[in-house]
Amino acid sequence: AYIRQLCCLGLGGQIVIPAVLQQLHTLVSSYGNTFFWIDDQHQIVNMYDETSMDPGLISRYLQEYVDKAEQEVMPSVSEWLRTGGEITTTERFVSRRFYESALYHEIFHPLRYHHTAYVFVREQERILGILALHRAPGESRYTAREERLLVSLIPYLAHALHGPEEGPYEVIEGRETGLLVFHPSGRLEYLSRQGSRLLFLATHPRVSAQTVRPARGPLRVPADLVRLCQVLQGVFNGDPHADRPPVWHHRNPWGQFTFRAYWLEPLQGEQGLIGITVQRHEPVLLSALRQMQALGLSAREMEVGMGVFRGLAPPEIAGQLYLSVHTVLDHIRRLYSKLGVHSREELVKVLLQRKPGEGGEAAIYASPK
């Protein structure tokens, strides 16, 4: 029920799909999950992998293997889709030579992807994407029951992909944060694993063979991050033109990101470096739904609770859920009692509260239009 509700939040596909991939682990166990967006020509036009968004690995896969060397050991995307099936697995469709191939040893094996289930997301015969769930070596193959569960999600995944890419929505400080370390000249020196991932998403609105460059030479740094280094130095050097703090707010289909620059204290007289934190904010609707699940609410309680959270009146909630107003009011009373609240304002506060270490204060920001 939670995944179905995620898909119906009305947020963009590139916001919802990463949350769905994460939640899928509670429905069907896997080591890592991937989603590919497919166009009408059966080409991969975007992708998201929750295990690794390493530019070098992604570039090598998309440019050297997809529909090229890949075809030696597994069907091309077009061949997959011509079968007309809803789901398949590596055991059923790849060549026996797959586990001896360069594709496996250079792409799948480093990620510990061994057994994979591929779900073809279609809507009225039109292909929209491919969901891939991967299990590690030694883990069991997918059962018929698990495959049926995955197939049941296809209509909801298709619906999620039609959400507005960058429609206006409020955000809350997110749980995903990373660190980038720069030389004062603007040269990137170090970055955390999560910092690398968030920087990649912030600078790649689409992840495809055309947008991801091969990993040759130093990582290209956005001019806005170099500017943050300059602004920070200007603030401390008394530059009269330093009229703004060293912060960059950036938004694309993956979400809203905030970069903030700070001096790192030098040791033993060495030149100081600049630390830039990056945080991906979370839509308040997504955060509220996640909190409802964490609080152990039932599917119906979550549906009614989301209506209250959105500010809908009981008759509006009743109309959306095909319930009587009396039934909705009864659900609201029980929901308030269960959460120990007495009003919508208190409900919103509970659903947006953060635990220590979860993105700081639960400040809400209106996304730039």
Q: Tens-of-pLDDT digits for all 369 residues of the chain?
A: 899 999 999 999 999 999 999 999 999 999 999 999 999 998 999 999 999 888 889 988 988 888 665 567 777 777 777 777 899 998 887 777 889 888 899 999 999 999 999 999 999 989 999 999 999 999 999 999 999 999 999 999 999 999 777 667 899 988 899 999 999 999 999 999 999 999 999 999 999 988 987 766 567 789 999 999 999 999 888 777 677 899 999 999 999 999 999 999 877 666 789 999 999 999 999 999 999 999 999 999 999 999 999 999 999 999 999 999 999 999 999 999 999 999 999 999 999 986 544 543 344 434 433
Residues ≥6 apart with Cβ < 8 Å to 306: 5, 285, 288, 289, 292
Report the C-alpha gap between 67 and 303 in whole angstroms: 42
Domains of the chain: 2-160 (3.30.450.40), 170-283 (3.30.450), 284-366 (1.10.10.10)
Residue carrying the six token digits 């030696």 = 72
Q: Specify the amino acid at residue 44.
A: I
Q: What is the pLDDT of residue 269?
A: 62
CB atoms under 10 Å from CB of 279, counted, come to 20
Return the H-helix or E-strand segment holding 234: helix 223-236
Tell me phi and psi for residue 82, to 5 degrees.
Answer: -70, -20
| Residues 48, 49, 52, 53, Cα dihedral to 10° | -10
* Positive or negative: CA dihedral 335, 341, 347, 350: negative
- The partner residues of 126 in beta bridges, in order of sequence, read 123
Q: Please, what is the end-to-end C-alpha distance for the chain in angstroms? A: 31
- The partner residues of 309 in beta bridges, in order of sequence, read none
